[in-house]
Structure 1
């Protein structure tokens, strides 16, 4: 009985910490898997199919996130599922089959850069959709 009293809360804390001990409230941008249905600023720059350069910004990171959230919200079949003053997680759904793509954006205030990852949840190829989407978001952000 005493064992259960402390093991369940401990297991819950470990699940929240996730791999590497990062807390659930401290988001990060993961590199892409080997499949071609993902782009990320954290991919190796020599990996042309996955790498995109981070966005540079000036001013306040929270304002940059607000601008990006507004751009994303105006796009079709999009839902913002998480947002802080330095992070946005949005889900895009394809028109016909309703496939889901996750877009995660993180502001690096110190470097004045915005990192992102756009990846399909399922399948292997996305016919370049994630890259096209991030190019569109980046172009609108720079306007």
Structure 2
């Protein structure tokens, strides 16, 4: 049986009850919340320390002692004859050229970079710090929004470590 809609209010009631409206509202909500959180956080760490992870599992840090957030720092072995500036230049090269990240702040010991997700354009913050005696690189990667990151930040820092170890122990030409 075909129902004929005759009043304008009948059209509106039919449209409101469709699943398409709920889908459209959901997509609009996700897009608006994703775009509204694109500002840089106020608490970017000063060069003396990395930012502390909050309680949501979308962060990893080598300075956080809680097991679900902890990731081991990088031990610098092959860079003993390099200066701090050379080590920082290698870090920035990995972040920008190898990983495609945008470096926003850097000093002789500290670098902050941003990773932007492809679809929703969510921004993650990446921080690295070289210790004074050039023996260790502390790492941190955290999502600005949301609760879970599905392991993206841990994978990102593990990828950075892999790139670092490739530079630190280059293969011999054959």
Identify whether the pair has TM-score above 0.5, normalized to the shorter chain: yes
Structure 2, unmatched stretches of 5+, are: 1-41, 167-174
Match of 1:63 among 76, 81, 86: 86
- Give the count of matched residue pairs: 119
C-alpha separation in 2, matches of 1:65 and 1:39: 21
Larger Rg: 2
Q: CA deviation at 1:108?
A: 0.2
Q: CA deviation at 1:73?
A: 0.3
Structure with greater proportional strand content: 1
C-alpha separation in 2, matches of 1:31 and 1:113: 18
TM-score by length of 1: 0.76
Task: Give matches, 1:125-140, under 5 Å.
Answer: 125-140=148-163
Residue in 2 aligned with 1:36?
57
Residue in 1 aligned with 2:172?
none
Q: CA deviation at 1:56?
A: 1.1
C-alpha separation in 1, matches of 2:105 and 2:134: 23
Q: Please tell me whether the aligned partners of residues 30 and 42 of structure 1 are also in contact (alpha carbons under 8 angstroms).
A: no
Q: CA deviation at 1:25?
A: 5.6
Q: CA deviation at 1:84?
A: 1.4
Alignment root-mean-square deviation, CA? 2.0
